[in-house]
Amino acid sequence: MPVVKKQKRIIITPYKMFSNGAKQLQEKLKTLSDRRVLRVRKTSTKFKPRQSDVNIFWGKCDDAWWSNPEQETAKNIARNKLKTFKAFKEHGISHPEWTTDWETAFSWWENNELIVGRTILTGHSGEGIILFKLEDEQFDDGLSCKLYVKYIKKEHEYRVHVFNGKVIDIQQKKRKVGFENRNNQIRNHKNGWVYCRENITKPEGMEELAVQACSCIGLTYGAVDIIYNKKQNKCYVLEINTAPGLINQTALLYATNFKEYLNV
C-alpha cells in the first residue's frame, strides 16, 4: 500500500471561535496558500497537532495547550490597560498620564482635568469606562475604578497595524455620515465613528511610535491605537489590539504578511 502524505495545515486558534477577524483571516489565507487552513477552538480536547502544522493564535489564547507561551505573555500585557501603560512608561513610549491612586486622580479632577476612569482593565469598545467631566458635581464614583487616565484632546485618532516590525496598514477614525449625538471624546463605532484609509493625514513619527510600542511589549503583530494632539504636535499611544477587526483589504494584508512570515 502506498503511503499517503497528509496535507500540511495552517491552524488558526482564535480567542473566540466566532471572531470575524479570525474568519476573515482564514478566508484570505485559503486564497494565498496551498495548505489547508483550519480554525480550531482553543478549548478543543479533540484537536491533535501535527509537527508540520503552522499555528496562528488570534488574540489571547493561553488556555490553548499548544499555544506559544512567549507570545501569550506579550498578549496578556497588551490586553490589560494597566500592564500596557506600565510597559510604555518603562520603555519611554509616549502615552497619556495615568495613576491607580484615587486621591491623585481626585486632585487632577479638582484642577479641572477631564479624567477617564476604567473599572475594567481588560475591557474593549469603551467597556468599563467612566468619563468624569469638568462640570460633574462629585468624583465618588471613581472609587470603583482600577485606573485613571488624564484625557488628552485629539485632533485625530488612528489605528496603525504593525507586523514583524513594520507598518502594514493605517486607518483613521472618521465621523459616520448621518449619525446623531456623536461622542467626540470616546470614538468608537457605537458613538458614531468608523475606520477609513482614504484621504487620511499621517502625523510625523506616528509609524515609528507604533512599531516601538509593539516591540516594547514583545508582540509580533498588533493594531496600535494612537491619538494626535495638534496643539502639542504630538502622538500618544492608547492601547494595542492583538485581535483587531479585519475586513477586506486589512484582512488581506494580515494574511499576506502571515504567509511571508510563516513561509507558507
Give residue limits of the domains in the chain: 9-62, 77-94+154-241, 98-150
pLDDT value for 252: 96
For residue 78, give the H/E element and its range: helix 69-79
Say which CATH architecture domain 77-94+154-241 belongs to.
2-Layer Sandwich (3.30)
| Residue 219: Cβ within 10 Å count | 20
* Mean pLDDT of the region 194-205: 87
Contact (Cβ atoms closer than 8 angstroms) between residue 65 and residue 47: no
Please state, in angstroms and rounded to a whole number, the distance separating the CA atoms of residues 243 and 24.
12
Mean pLDDT value of segment 74-102 = 97
Specify the pLDDT at position 4.
46
Residue range 71-82, pLDDT digits in tens: 999 999 999 999
pLDDT number for residue 197: 81
State residue 52's pLDDT score: 93
pTM for this predicted structure: 0.89
Q: What does the pLDDT look like over 135-166, one tens digit per residue? A: 776 676 667 899 999 999 999 999 999 999 99
Write down the mean pLDDT value for the chain: 89
Sheet holding 9-14, edge to edge: 36-39, 9-14, 54-58
| Whether the Cβ atoms of residue 15 and residue 59 lie closer than 8 Å to each other | yes
Least confident piece of the model among 38-42, 122-126, 169-173, 243-247: 122-126
Between 104-113, 165-174, 181-190, 218-227, the lowest mean confidence (pLDDT) is in 181-190
